[in-house]
Each structure stands twice: as C-alpha cells, then as structure tokens.
Structure 1
Amino acid sequence: MANTKDFFHGVAQRILSNWTALKIAVEHGFGERDYAVELPSYMTETFYTNDNPTTDDIAGVLEEYMDNYFNTELDDNSSTQVAEHMCKFYRYCLEGNETIAIAEKEKLPALQTWILSRDELRQMGVREPIIIVNESDDDSESDEADEDVGNKMEDDDWVEVKPRRKK
C-alpha cells in the first residue's frame, strides 16, 4: 500500500458512516453535520500521531468527540465496537498487509454518502440532497404534525437518543 493514511481515511469514513449513534446524533440535530464529516479525518490523525493507540484509547476519543460536538453520551458500547474495527485496519496498514486490508474493507457495509463533504460528493458525481422545509403560518397545524410524528416514532419502536445534559 503506497499511502496507508489515505487508505485508512477511506476505511474510517466507511466505518463511521455506518455508525448508528453518529448518524442519529446528526439526524436529530444534536450537532452539526460538518462535525461528522470531519470525524474520519480527526480519527485518522489520532491514529497516525499517537504511538500504538489501543482500542480503549480510541473508544475514549470517540466518546469524547460525541460528547463535545454532539452533546451525546454513549451507553451502548458502540464506541468500543467502532474502535475495534478501526484498530484492526490500522494494524493492517502498519504491517503492510495490503491484501488482507483490501479484502476486509470489502466486507464492511457500503459507504453512506451522508458523511462526505460537498467536495467529495461532487468528485463522486453525487448531488447533495436538498431539504425543503414546509413552514406554515398556522402554528397549531405544525404542533399537530409534530405530535403525529412523535406518535408514529413511538409506534415504530424507535429508540430516542437524548443529548447529554450539562450540569
């Protein structure tokens, strides 16, 4: 592998784009999408600027990032699972196991484009989705619609991820 750092960054994007806790935090407005877009680069730098980071070290970095930028406290052990995957690929990169690294990358879920920057989306030929907000002059209609959405979410067995409260 000529440039392991670029390869690792691509793996980090793929892993993090499929991390449910991060995606939910962005979708529910606990933090800006730009912070999620920056996370793969931040994690790549974390790996490549520290000597032999452990799974616990990386899980701690992920938890701190989620707390600082998404006001979200993780209680589901997902940060450890994400850290384990990332550490595995980092070892492949350090050891020069290109064949294994590429084969293992292919086993990962596909990259979800929501985590890509505008430039990366343009390079891939993907247009960024446009979100149209329907603003009503009548607040009572809006409140009723919000209640319907809340009830539907409860009926569909959604799990609400709440932002961490500052003390």
Structure 2
Amino acid sequence: MLYDEFKPIVDLVLNNWTALQLAVEHGMGAPGGEKTAQLMAVYIARYCVENVVDRDELTEVIEDLMDEEFETVCHDDSPREISVLLLQFLGLLKEGRHDEIRARIDAMPKCQKWLSQPIHESVPPQVNCHGNPDDDSTCSSEEDEGVNNNVNGAPAAHASKSQDPEPMDEDGDPGWTVVRSRRRN
C-alpha cells in the first residue's frame, strides 16, 4: 500500500531530475536508457519502502545506480538533494499528511512524465546488464554485432555518424556532460 502511494512520487521527482534526463537523452550506459530509468524508479521506491533508510544511504544507492546503469557521476550534489526530497515525501506519507504532499507536488515544476510510462514486457530490461569497466563481463547488444536500428528498422541517426569520423579533441572529454551546482550569492 505504501509503495503504491510512494512510487508515483518517486517518478515525479526523478522526472524533474536533470542529471537523469541528460543521461537518458544522451544514451549514457546500456541501450534502453528510458526503461532502465523506469526500473531505477521502481528499485528506489521499493528500497525506501522496504528498508529503514537515511539520507546518506539513499544518496549512495542513487549515486551507484547512476554510475553503474548510466555511467554518469553527478558532481552537483543532486543525488543528495533527490534523497532528501524522497525521504521527506516518504515521511509525510507515513504520517498520513496527504494534503501537505499534494501542496508540495503542486509547487513542483511541471514536466513531461516520461518515467511513468508503462514498461513493455516484450523488451527485456537492461538493468544490471553491464559490469565493471575493469571486468570483461559485459552483456552483448545489437551494437556489439554492428546492428543499430531504430523502431522502424532504419539505421539510427547516430549510426551514420560513425561513418564520418570526427577529429578527436584530446584535451576535451568527449561523451561526457558535467553537471555542476549553481553558485548561490
């Protein structure tokens, strides 16, 4: 029962999280990033409901999920902010303060609810698919076999980019987006 009330809140909070949106939009981690993010929301909701969790522990879980599933490290302290927010909502749910929850949700920025879309059973989830970069145990994907098609069977846009190699900038860090906290005056 608590999970059923908490899961939509987790979805809403993660929907508004820029670091997760960037990781999914830029294809960080394994293929199927949106489904991985949906499964991440399920895991976080279950983890919070089924365990006695503190802010630091939940922050570590979220950081580990972002690193392992999306190969993304957040330098902006947003995993801690997400943890604090989720635990505040969970505390309010446990206390039965539904009016305050609705008021806080209404005050949140409106966004497209991309995480609350149903997960299709026909597509296997990608969670925990890839291993440690130092480990040789990674799972194979269509990319490994040289096949890179979108839903319609046509080559994906990023597949054509590999045909026209771009010069590498050795000073830059290609493929990474750094998310930093804003300076407060």
- Same fold by TM (over 0.5)? yes
Conserved? CA contact 2:38–2:115, under 8 Å: yes
Equivalent AA in structure 1 for residue 177 of structure 2: V
Higher relative contact order (CA 8 A, sep 6+): 1
What are the equivalent positions in structure 2 for 1:1-150 lying under 5 Å apart? 3-31=1-29, 32-51=33-52, 53-118=53-118, 133-134=156-157, 139-140=163-164, 143=165
The residue matched to 2:100 in structure 1 has which SS? Answer: helix
Alpha-carbon deviation of 1:85? 0.7
Is the deviation greater in 24-33 or in 84-93?
Answer: 24-33
For the pair 1:161 / 2:177, whether they are aligned, the reply is yes
Equivalent AA in structure 2 for residue 48 of structure 1: V
Conserved? CA contact 2:2–2:49, under 8 Å: no
**1:154: which partner in 2?**
none
Is the deviation greater in 24-33 or in 8-17?
Answer: 24-33
Alpha-carbon spacing, 1:59–1:136, altered in 2? closer, same or farther (3 Å): closer
Alpha-carbon deviation of 1:75? 1.4
Alpha-carbon spacing, 1:96–1:70, altered in 2? closer, same or farther (3 Å): same
TM-score (structure 1 length as normaliser): 0.69
Alpha-carbon deviation of 1:160? 4.4
Measure, in 2, the Cα distance between the counterparts of 1:65 and 1:42.
10
**2:172: which partner in 1?**
none
Alpha-carbon deviation of 1:106? 1.3
Conserved? CA contact 2:23–2:70, under 8 Å: yes
The residue matched to 2:4 in structure 1 has which SS? Answer: helix
Conserved? CA contact 1:14–1:112, under 8 Å: no
Aligned residues: 138
